[in-house]
Amino acid sequence: MGSFKWKGVPLSAWLFRIAHNLMVDYHRRVASSRRYLEQAAELEPLLRTAVSGQRAMVIPKPSPTARSAGRQDMLTTLAARRKRPRRLFPIRGWALALVSLVIAVIVSSGTVMASFQSVPEETLYPLKMAVERIQLALSTSPVSQAHTLVRHSDNRLKEIEILEGKGKAQVAERLRERMKS
């Protein structure tokens, strides 16, 4: 078999494939002969020729050199698998998700902290207002709600001062009107 090339596949897999194909051919012959019983006498010489041709087919035995080369390839592959470098950060799926969550919490906490310095018409101001609504909702007693509202009012007064300092008197006036209502 001049076209045979060793591809590192075990010889047993190759032999099993040949045996499988022979069995499929046999069962096809049997099934077709059952289908065409009336033509069995005509087909018998053809089938005998095919069977004898298959029996005459010689399955090549690999040479000792080929067997040795195949064995060496297999051992080299196994050794390479054992020597795989370990990852720098051997993080499993759940640990990666946990690390991602912690990073997201840290980043969002930084954004929330930065929003405390914002004033109306700035990008983070809606986040600041949402945090203040959450703080008020989490206040459990009327006294703690009153303290939270006083703190929020102090924040609005500071915002008005900052807006006036920046020359945004109209925005500061709208904020005053909102505080009165």
77 & 121 share domain: no
* pTM score of the predicted model: 0.44
Question: CA 89, CA 78: separation in Å to the nearest integer?
Answer: 24
Residue 157 has pLDDT above 80, yes or no: yes
CA–CA gap between residue 57 and residue 101 (Å, rounded):
65
Closest CA to 62 of 19, 4, 3: 4
C-alpha 126/C-alpha 119 separation (Å) is 9
Query: Is there a domain that residue 102 lies in?
Result: no
More confident residue, 57 or 103: 103
Residue 95 lies in a domain: no
State residue 4's pLDDT score. 63
In a domain, 75, yes or no: yes
Tell whether 56 is covered by a domain: yes
The reply to whether 90 falls in a domain is no
pLDDT tens per residue across span 41-94: 776 777 777 777 777 666 777 888 988 988 898 888 888 777 766 666 666 667
Predicted confidence at residue 17, as pLDDT, reads 79
Please count the structural domains in the chain. Answer: 2
Q: What is the mean pLDDT of the chain?
A: 80
The residue range of the domain holding 27 is 11-82
Same domain, 18 and 76: yes
- Rounded Cα–Cα distance for residues 144 and 157 (Å): 20
Cα 155 to Cα 149: distance, rounded to the nearest angstrom: 10
